[in-house]
Amino acid sequence: MKKREFIKKAGLVTSSILAIPFIGQNEELYLTKLANQKKNANESNVSMNLVIGGDHAGFPLKGPLIEILKSWGYIVRDVGCFSVEPVDFPDIALLLINEILTGNAERGIMVCGTGIGASIACNRIRSIRAALCHDAYSAHQCVEHDNANVLCMGAQILGIKLAEEILHNFLNAKFSEGEQFRRRVKKLDEFDLVKPTKN
- Residues of the domain holding 2: 1-43
The string of pLDDT tens digits covering residues 28-54 is 554 554 455 445 444 445 679 999 999
114 and 20 fall within a common domain: no
Identify the pLDDT of residue 184.
93
Residues 38 and 50 in one domain: no
- The b/e string for 74-90 (b: 16+ C-beta within 10 A; e otherwise) is bebbbbbbeeeeebebe
Q: Do 104 and 152 belong to one domain?
A: yes
Q: What global pTM score does this model have?
A: 0.76
- Shared domain for 77 and 172, answered yes or no, is yes
Rounded CA separation 66/88 (Å):
21
- Does 6 score more than 60 pLDDT? no
The reply to whether 33 and 75 lie within a common domain is no
| Domain presence at residue 195 | no
Domain-located, residue 152: yes
Task: Verify that 164 and 72 share a domain, yes or no.
Answer: yes
Q: How does pLDDT run across 117-174, given as a tens digit for each residue? A: 999 999 999 899 999 999 999 999 999 999 999 999 999 999 999 999 999 999 999 9
Those residues with Cβ within 8 angstroms of residue 181's Cβ, 6 or more apart along the chain or in another chain: 144, 145, 146, 147, 175
Continuous H helices in the chain: 3-10, 14-17, 27-43, 59-71, 89-101, 116-122, 136-146, 160-172, 179-189
What is the pLDDT at residue 144? 98
135 and 73 in a common domain = yes
Q: Check pLDDT > 70 for residue 2.
A: no
Contact 75, 114 (CB under 8 A): no
Query: Counting beta carbons within 10 angstroms of the beta carbon of residue 57, is it exposed (0 to 12), middle (13 to 18) or buried (19 or more)?
Result: buried
In a domain, 65, yes or no: yes
Active site residue 81: no
28 and 63: one domain? Answer: no
- List, in order, residues 6 or more apart from 22 with CB less than 8 Å away: 30
Give the CATH number for residue 169: 3.40.1400.10
Whether 153 maps to a domain, the answer reads yes
